[in-house]
A and B are shown apart, each in its own frame.
Chain A
Amino acid sequence: MKPGMLLLWLMPLLPPQVQATQADQIKASHAWIRLLPANLPAAGYVTLDNQGSSAATLVSARSAFYASVMLHQSATDTTGSSSMRMLDRLTVPAHGEVSLAPAGYHLMLQEATHPFKPGETIDITLDFADGSHLRVPFSVRPANAPD
């Protein structure tokens, strides 16, 4: 058999694409939810570490446990006034890290499907710009948990 023929035979066995998805490049850590009483909106936090050589852009998030999950940013202006705004996207640079942490970026979690308890784990799916997804387990912590 000629060497060219052998390659043809092996072709279907090779992975269809070498390019990793944005979700594949992201390592999520320190994922937690600050639980608030009475079904008040809660915040989800996570550190996103991009181990790939291209940027990954978070465009949305969702969870079976919350009716609404939004990407938010808290900011304090020069007068010391604090407010939150909604973000369309959040880019994690190549080989870079972005932290969703208290008083900064957070996932705004609204209308939980049922009451949670500290110690439980809740899955939130992060959607990236290339259509890939990453399911991340978030641990539920009490309202007064230190960050």
Chain B
Amino acid sequence: MSVVINQPVNTLPVLTYRWLKLNELKLSEPIGIPIKPYSKQFVANLDAVKQMIEIDTGPPAAEIQVLGAGVSSQLTRLSQTSANTGIQIIVPPNTVVEQPLEIAYRLDADDCSVIDNNLIIAEADSQITLIFDYSSAPDAAVVHNGLTQIVAKSGSVVNIVKIQRMQDQAVHFDAVMAEIEPHARVNLIQAELGGKLAVTNYVTNLHQAADTKINSLYFGDQDRVIDVSYLMNHIGRHSTSQLTARGVLKDRARKAFKGTLDFKKGASRAEGSEHEYVLLLDPTVKSDSVPLLLCGEEDVKGEHAASCGKFDPDQLFYLMSRGFDKIQATKLIVEAVFSPVIGEIPNDKLQTVISEVIQRRLAGE
């Protein structure tokens, strides 16, 4: 059995001019997602954490209310009804799980679709880190569609790392939704490095003194289409959010970055910031940014900044004067763009893997 995906994805929270064609991303062709079981082991270190938390593999038994449409209501529904994998976690109160839980999916000709539905509930003052790693076998036309719901109860900390490094034939849809209760924090690191189409959507409700930090990294090469969307709903007083996105675009890659800070009435003393840095390496790339600031409360601070261009000629000159050729210098500069984010990933092996993927793609291999 297979489901056909045809609805537009990543619709903006507030629409703007139609001629820009940025209000939503229309799929260039319908995408079929086969529905069949996923066969491999996917939690690498289950035994290490099993004693501390309640964990079940497989999609959650009960549905919880979604915070938004996700990538699209059609895709979110698909994960809710037809998931072939997933995990459910409850971290008991005051429990601090030091070791990151590693979840890795490898898609290939046999396991050509991953539809995961994950639910993470962090009880009061608990802490947990999860790493999701999606990769695929060369030349395999595969699809991933994911839904990860997080409930961070008061004072808890949830760290999520999502690495997508699939091959050029892959399609990736991923929605993360976080309800962040008072004084809780959710940190998200997201790296979009592969696939022909990569669409991600993060939405969060921030309650009183809740905080979210997002580090987003993308690398676009070949004909990749990247569409990333973030929506921070500041609901509670003193809630805070910081989003930093860093990207490099090369060849004919196209990217749309959609980041929205929404200060609801009553969210006094809330502060939110959004920064995007894009490095453009070829004249044939396309870089779209839609940083929205929506505000219904007087006593807030919101800012966003975006910069976009080739690298600084002074920087390049400096490096070349030290004997680097242009390609080496480019590698160095790209590494400098990404390294602050990569350095935050709590897994040395993955750090190396990501650096290698980027260097390989930069070299056009």
Q: Are A and B physically bound partners?
A: no
By a beta-carbon cutoff of 8 Å, the part of chain B in contact with chain A is: none
Q: Which residues of A contact B (CB under 8 A)?
A: none
